[in-house]
């Protein structure tokens, strides 16, 4: 079987790695891929946002299954184009991907179907937005409706900050058309976590939960980034919470999508805020999370390829989805970034030490923003590599990740030193209450 992974980041390398370990020994292809995916197979240098050239590449390489990593091609209809051509694809249709592509759609869906989330109001122009800003309490959250590369949500502390954000989004059009409509959302407190359901219509299998560390600096300070690390499974996740999330969030959402004639096939990512054993939805994404996937796939006990293959079968009928359980271990993923990230970075710096990092027992290294300069591996972006430590406990997995990360060098390299701290804190609170 030949599998094509669409995308070029650490999420895609980790998916390629997990799929390559299937007993069915698939051929692995990346589109456009990265040097890490090239270690496992072959990259196809094609524009993932052009469905006709993707389809041509799929036909030429006799691909059996396409797994789409990022949201943009899904929201643009890549899965529809491939499905119409008879190609099996794991990823939702454009209509279903709107759950991520439009916050207004997602909030409206949750409201109509009683799915727990933050209260909200929508503004369609700057005047209406300023009127809403005058009447809400602070802190409050303002979100651009459309895709904004993870930068479209702003937590504002005052009416003045809200007005500034409205001006940036709706008047100066900082996010282009994505900011034409703005969602005002009640600020939720609690512990954030990411839940991944592999869905095929109303059927689904839940993968292990994970937690993303989005801020640039230790202690969750600094600017929001694309993710500086993640760990899995979340210490505070348990069977009772899982039952609550499945019955109150995942199942009603898949049912709602089916009723709205947007049946959901692909990865449904629920970003949750959990407080006092109750979860509310902060966001839905229509694909695997990055960097959560890098922490999650190494601790799956099962054949991820078989699961994605079955879930994407349009003729699945009543066949149950294969399980992909948690193998009982913990993983910590640390993102190695270029100096200055998430601001301006310089690239083209030679990377050393990946092999040494991989020699650390339990460590994995996934490529994100890397590229080849002749035969030299160099930095090509803000988030360069993902170093994952896997072990039986969270402290051991964290140590493994940081020992391995210390072997890697490139000019300006930096990482957060505290990935997983919330889990460690929860473990120590638990042991204090037991003693």
Binding mask 95-134 toward ligand GLY (x if CB under 6 A, else -) reads ----------------------------------------
Cα–Cα distance for residue pair 36/45, rounded to 1 Å: 14
Nearest 5°: CA angle at 110, between 105 and 113?
A: 120
**Listed ranges 73-81, 169-177, 184-192, 234-242: which one lies at the site for ligand AMP (CB under 6 A):** 184-192
| Cα distance between residue 371 and residue 367, in whole Å | 9
When CB distances are held under 5 to 8 angstroms depending on the partner's kind, the choice from ligand GLY, ligand AMP, none that residue 227 binds is ligand GLY
Half-sphere exposure of 96 (CA within 13 A, CB side): 30
Is residue 227 involved in binding ligand GLY (CB under 6 A)?
yes
Which of 283, 290, 292, 303 is in the footprint of ligand AMP by CB under 6 A?
283
State the nearest-atom distance from the C-beta of 12 to ligand GLY, in Å: 12
First vs last C-alpha separation in the chain: 53
289 sits near ligand GLY (criterion: CB under 6 A): yes
Q: Is the peptide bond before 233 cis (omega within 30 degrees of 0)?
A: yes
**307 backbone dihedrals φ, ψ, rounded to 5°:** -65, -50
* 145 interacts with ligand GLY by CB under 6 A: no
Kindly indicate which of the ranges 166-174, 187-195, 226-234, 399-407 contains the residues binding ligand AMP, using the contact rule CB under 6 A.
187-195
Q: 48-74 b/e with 16+ CB inside 10 Å = b?
A: beebeebbebbeeeebebbbbbbbbbb
User: Considering CB under 6 A, how many residues would be counted as binding ligand AMP?
Assistant: 12
* Strand-strand pairing, 330-337 and 383-391: antiparallel
Q: How near is the Cβ of 46 to ligand AMP at its closest, in Å?
A: 29
State whether residue 351 is helix, strand or coil: coil
Q: Give the footprint of ligand GLY on residues 148-187 (CB under 6 A).
A: 150
Strands in 15-98 per DSSP E: 27-32, 42-43, 65-68, 88-90
Query: Does the protein bind ligand AMP through residue 427 (CB under 6 A)?
Result: no
The yes or no reply on residue 285 touching ligand GLY (CB under 6 A) is: yes
The distance of closest approach from Cβ of residue 193 to ligand AMP in the complex, given in angstroms and rounded to an integer, is 10
- 23 Rama class: left (phi>0) / alpha (psi -120 to 50) / beta: alpha
Asked whether the beta carbons of 30 and 38 are under 8 A apart, the reply is yes
290 is a contact residue toward ligand GLY (CB under 6 A): yes
Contacts of residue 235, defined as CB under 8 A and 6 or more positions apart, other chains included, come to 394, 422, 423, 426, 427, 430
* Nearest residue (beta carbon) to ligand GLY: 289
Site string for ligand GLY, 197-216 (x = CB under 6 A): ---------------x----
* Residues of span 233-272 touching ligand AMP by CB under 6 A: 271
Q: Does 379 bind ligand GLY (CB under 6 A)?
A: no
152 binds, among ligand GLY, ligand AMP, none (CB under 5 to 8 A by kind): ligand AMP
User: 267, 287 in Cβ contact below 8 A?
Assistant: yes
Q: Which strand (E) or helix (H) includes residue 80?
A: helix 78-84
Task: From the list ligand AMP, ligand GLY, none, pick the one residue 282 interacts with, judged by a Cβ distance below 5 to 8 Å according to partner type.
Answer: ligand AMP
**282 counts as binding ligand AMP under rule CB under 6 A:** yes
d(CA 401, CA 357): 9
Beta carbon of residue 372, minimum distance to ligand AMP (angstroms, whole number): 33
Q: List residues binding ligand AMP (CB under 6 A).
A: 118, 141, 143, 152-153, 185, 187-188, 192, 271, 282-283
Binding residues (CB under 6 A) for ligand GLY: these are 150, 212, 227, 285, 289-290, 292
């Amino acid at each position: 079987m030949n599998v094509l992974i669409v995308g070029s980041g650490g999420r895609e390398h980790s998916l390629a790695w997990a799929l390559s370990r299937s007993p069915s020994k698939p051929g692995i292809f990346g589109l456009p891929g990265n040097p890490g995916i090239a270690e496992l197979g072959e990259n196809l240098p094609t524009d993932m946002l052009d469905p006709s050239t993707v389809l041509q590449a799929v036909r030429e390489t006799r691909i059996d299954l396409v797994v789409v990593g990022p949201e943009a091609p899904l929201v643009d209809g890549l899965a529809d184009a491939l499905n119409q051509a008879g190609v099996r694809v794991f990823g939702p249709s454009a209509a279903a991907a709107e759950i991520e592509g439009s916050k207004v759609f997602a909030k409206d869906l949750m409201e109509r179907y009683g799915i727990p989330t933050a209260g909200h109001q929508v503004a369609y122009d700057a005047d209406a937005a300023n009127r809403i800003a005058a009447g809400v309490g602070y802190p409050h959250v303002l979100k651009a409706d459309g895709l904004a590369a993870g930068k479209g949500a702003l937590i504002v502390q005052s009416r003045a900050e809200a007005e500034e954000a409205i001006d940036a989004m709706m008047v100066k059009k900082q996010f282009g058309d994505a900011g034409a409509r703005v969602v005002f959302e009640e600020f939720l407190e609690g512990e954030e976590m990411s839940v991944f359901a592999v869905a095929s219509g109303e059927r689904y299998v839940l993968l292990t939960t994970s937690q993303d560390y989005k801020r640039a600096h230790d202690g969750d300070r600094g600017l929001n980034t694309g993710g500086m690390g993640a760990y899995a499974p979340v210490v505070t996740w348990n069977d009772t919470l899982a039952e609550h999330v499945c019955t109150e969030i995942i199942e009603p959402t898949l049912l709602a999508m089916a009723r709205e004639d947007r049946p959901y096939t692909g990865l449904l990512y629920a970003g949750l805020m959990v407080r006092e054993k109750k979860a509310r939805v902060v966001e839905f994404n229509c694909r695997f999370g990055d960097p959560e996937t890098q922490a999650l796939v190494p601790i799956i006990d099962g054949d991820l390829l078989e699961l994605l293959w079955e879930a994407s079968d349009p003729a699945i009928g009543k066949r149950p989805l294969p399980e992909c359980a948690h193998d009982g271990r913990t993983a910590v993923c640390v993102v190695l970034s270029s100096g200055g990230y998430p601001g301006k970075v310089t690239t083209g710096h030679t990377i050393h030490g990946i092999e040494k990092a991989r020699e650390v027992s339990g460590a994995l290294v996934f490529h994100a923003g890397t590229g080849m300069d002749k035969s030299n591996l160099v930095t090509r972006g803000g988030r360069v590599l993902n170093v994952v430590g896997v072990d039986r406990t969270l402290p051991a997995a964290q140590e493994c990740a940081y020992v391995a990360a210390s072997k890697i060098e490139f000019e300006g390299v930096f990482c957060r030193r505290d990935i997983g701290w919330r889990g460690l804190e929860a473990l120590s609170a638990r042991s204090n209450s037991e003693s």
